[in-house]
Structure 1
Amino acid sequence: MSSLTPSGYRFGATYVGTHQYGPAESYPVLIGDIDPAGNLNANIYHRFNDNLVAKFQAQVQNNKYTASHFVSEYRGKIFTSALTLANIDILNDTGVAVAHYLQSVTKSIALGAEIAYQRNPQIPGGQIAVVSLAARYTGNDYTLTGTLGGAGLNVCYYQKASEQLQIGVELETNLRMQESVASVGYQIDLPKADLVFKGMVDSNWNVGATLEKKLLPMPFSLTLSGMLNHQKNQFRLGLGFVIG
């Protein structure tokens, strides 16, 4: 239900393979959903070995192939590298490629860099590249990260306050648009009640929350989510029911 788009429903299906890497981690994973108008979202996740993970996403809207997204990530002992390809169209010479590398310098400090490259005839010169630098500091129960590049500045702080409470603060600044957005989020876990509650609020007057409840002993899960913008008077409400 939404005040922005026509209300409706979607049908989803999930397949989980038998290639298991952990107690709750099996691959490949195929997830898809479709609505009565034929709009489709498809996701494929696969882990080839202990180091290499890949993800592919595709979207069909109004009977047209509108978006694709491929991510491959390699995790070494002291480094992580990733490659992202989005909306690659060789015929129209358009697409986005992003590569990043993160290296652990000490047990607490990691440094890295990212380069984003885009081709599009509508861009002056037909192409553009942006380089960003990243840093991460990891403490006993908190993490501080920062990214600085030509597009802007992003700073994020995460704190695990207790076994039940996690909080995070993020500041994102766009230097070209001269705009900044601050966000605060939290997560509350209640294992005895099989309940997880997540909430957020940002400086654009957006307020969101999600409630996830396991209906034990039945193999069902119930999810309620909502997003409200007080300034624009926009509201969205979602209901999810998972079997399995």
Structure 2
Amino acid sequence: MGDTKGNGVLPPFLSDNGLINLFRNTYTAFSKRREALGLSNPGPFDKIKREVDTDVFLTKFMFTGLKGELNKPLSISPLFQFSHAFALGSQQNPPYGFSAIYGTPSMLMQGNLDNDGQLMAVLNKSWTKSFVTKSQASMTPGQASVVQLDGDYSGKDFTASIKSMNPSILDGGLSGAFVGGYLQSVTPGLALGAEAVWQRFGMNQGPETILTYCARYKGQDWIGTAQLTGQGMLSTSYWRRLSDKVEAGTELNLQFAPGLGGGGLMGAGASKVGTTTVGAKYDFRTSSFKAQLDSTGKLSCLLERRVLPPVQISFAGEIDHFKSTAKIGMAVSLEVASEAIQTQAGPSASEPSVLF
């Protein structure tokens, strides 16, 4: 028998090996069983509770003071748009910020610059339907720069991802933060995964490692998740669609800290500190309302209403009952599209193409 490397056939010393054949047959049988189950992709590890964090809760969208945004699309295909943002009395947003976005079906570039000189650049590239890379750099005057590189691979029934923040070998060794995550569907409703973090921010410090395990179960109209870290943190969430317009969610975060009597995660000497958050979202015809309440006494709400096709107004409010403080915010977003873009896109040209 001649050389068979070029035609894809294994050489005799591999094809006649009983251990290799056993492994190959086991893997083939396992792959066929996975295909027979009809498993779907569960998404990335860091977004297992995206329905609660993004769709229901308003923590990531809360703001104070007055905000104004002016979005100007220059073209729709490829996407090219710039934006001016103004803020007054806000603790989260600078007084002025400029943003530019350029995107194609396989690439997205974005740059942000504010009045304090802080610059942030983002480049996302889809190499194939399954493999996407993301890079982000942030530079602030008087502070250290931050560089983050991500890579996600999405299979039929799993997602594998790797992230790095400020990776470097210039100090005589490897430093930075590295995160690897994997989420696998094991049944049509259940997905299990794990995430490992390795970090060292200086050669004069020792490396640290953190392991996190997670489970996600998707029912007909509800999703439940659980995450457990080796440092003693437990996080659970529950999301449910009550109707076509109403969604609700809850989240519990519990920290097990070793007390004076010792003890580990479930030890008798461990103290427990936790918070619980409950939220709901209601979609009207031209507006959306979100509200949430947590165990620390904070009640928050957010109302987003589209007054006209190019104009959106948002109201945000938060009351801290324990501290007796209140915050309020108002934002106006205006999108101005040229006549050429409106003609190219049709009646829907006035709808925002990018959400900031």
Structure 2 length as normaliser, TM-score? 0.57
Residues 1:76 and 1:7: Cα distance change in structure 2 (over 3 Å): closer
- Asked whether 1:203 is paired with 2:295, we answer yes
Indicate the SS of the match to 1:50.
coil
Greater gyration radius:
2
Aligned to 1:231: 322
Q: 2:277 aligns with which of 142, 161, 183?
A: 183
8 Å Cα contact 2:239/2:248 also seen in 1: yes
Indicate the SS of the match to 2:183.
strand
Query: Aligned partner of 2:97: which letter?
Result: F
CA distance in 1: counterparts of 2:199 and 2:188, whole angstroms: 34
- Asked whether 1:140 is paired with 2:220, we answer yes
Structure 1 residue 242: deviation in Å? 4.5
Q: 2:244 aligns with which of 145, 159, 163?
A: 163
8 Å Cα contact 1:157/1:170 also seen in 2: yes
Residues 1:215 and 1:122: Cα distance change in structure 2 (over 3 Å): farther
8 Å Cα contact 2:313/2:330 also seen in 1: no
Query: Aligned partner of 2:98: which letter?
Result: G
Query: Aligned partner of 1:221: which letter?
Result: Q
Aligned to 1:29: 108
Residues 1:228 and 1:160: Cα distance change in structure 2 (over 3 Å): same
8 Å Cα contact 2:317/2:326 also seen in 1: no
CA distance in 2: counterparts of 1:133 and 1:37, whole angstroms: 40
8 Å Cα contact 1:224/1:240 also seen in 2: no
Residues 1:8 and 1:111: Cα distance change in structure 2 (over 3 Å): closer
Superposition pairs of residues 74-223 of structure 1, within 5 angstroms: 74-91=153-170, 94-121=175-202, 126-151=206-231, 152-176=233-257, 178-190=272-284, 192-193=285-286, 195-217=287-309, 219-223=310-314
Count of residue correspondences: 233
CA distance in 2: counterparts of 1:33 and 1:240, whole angstroms: 19
Query: Aligned partner of 2:312: which letter?
Result: S
Residues 1:228 and 1:86: Cα distance change in structure 2 (over 3 Å): farther
Query: Aligned partner of 1:30: which letter?
Result: M
Q: Percent identity?
A: 27
Query: Aligned partner of 2:127: which letter?
Result: F
Residues 1:43 and 1:199: Cα distance change in structure 2 (over 3 Å): farther
Query: Aligned partner of 2:103: which letter?
Result: G
- Per-residue CA deviations over 1:175-208 (Å, capped at 9, x if unaligned) read 2374212112222212x22x12223222223333
- Asked whether 1:39 is paired with 2:100, we answer no
* Superposition RMSD in Å: 2.9
Identify the range of structure 1 (222-231 vs 66-75) with the bigger mean alpha-carbon deviation: 222-231
Residues 1:134 and 1:7: Cα distance change in structure 2 (over 3 Å): closer
Residues 1:184 and 1:58: Cα distance change in structure 2 (over 3 Å): farther
Structure 1 residue 38: deviation in Å? 1.3
Structure 1 length as normaliser, TM-score? 0.80
CA distance in 1: counterparts of 2:128 and 2:304, whole angstroms: 31
Residues 1:215 and 1:187: Cα distance change in structure 2 (over 3 Å): same
Structure 1 residue 155: deviation in Å? 0.6
